[in-house]
Amino acid sequence: MAKLKPPKHLSSAARKLWKEFMDEYDLSDTAGLTLLNLLTTAWDEAESLADQVRREGTTIVNPASGAAHVHPALQQLKESRAVVLRCIRALNLDVEPPGPVGRPGGR
């Protein structure tokens, strides 16, 4: 099978992440590739939103009223990160290593 390439709309960092997932896991089926594309697109969006919040701060001021509000990008950032985590879970990839085998320690 021909070596697959990451989607062109991804940033270079997201393409690198896409390639790392492809090298580390067997994601050759349609569902796996779809989830990987969604994961890396959401990751790219989250990185862009995080940069925006770093530049602009976590609050914005309404020019008309002068009232401070939570930056709307924070909610979008939270949602993008949630998509990344849901895709990782849907791909059945471990987010953290399993605990030791055996009975839990006693008192």
Mind listing the pLDDT tens digit of every residue in the chain (107 residues)? Answer: 568 899 999 999 999 999 999 999 888 899 999 999 999 999 999 999 999 999 999 999 999 999 999 999 999 999 999 999 999 999 988 666 667 777 777 66
How many domains, in total, are found in the chain?
A: 1
What pTM, to 2 d.p., does this model score? 0.81
101: in domain: no
Q: CA nearest 87: which of 26, 46, 52, 43?
A: 43
Range of the domain at 71: 12-90
Q: Indicate whether 45 belongs to any domain.
A: yes
What is the spatial distance between Cα 44 and Cα 42, in angstroms, rounded to a whole number? 5
Which residues, at least 6 apart from 68, have a Cβ–Cβ distance to it below 8 Å? 59, 60, 61, 62
Cβ distance 25 to 93 under 8 Å? yes
Q: Provide the 8-state DSSP code for 107.
A: -
In a domain, 27, yes or no: yes
What single-letter DSSP state applies at residue 8?
Answer: T
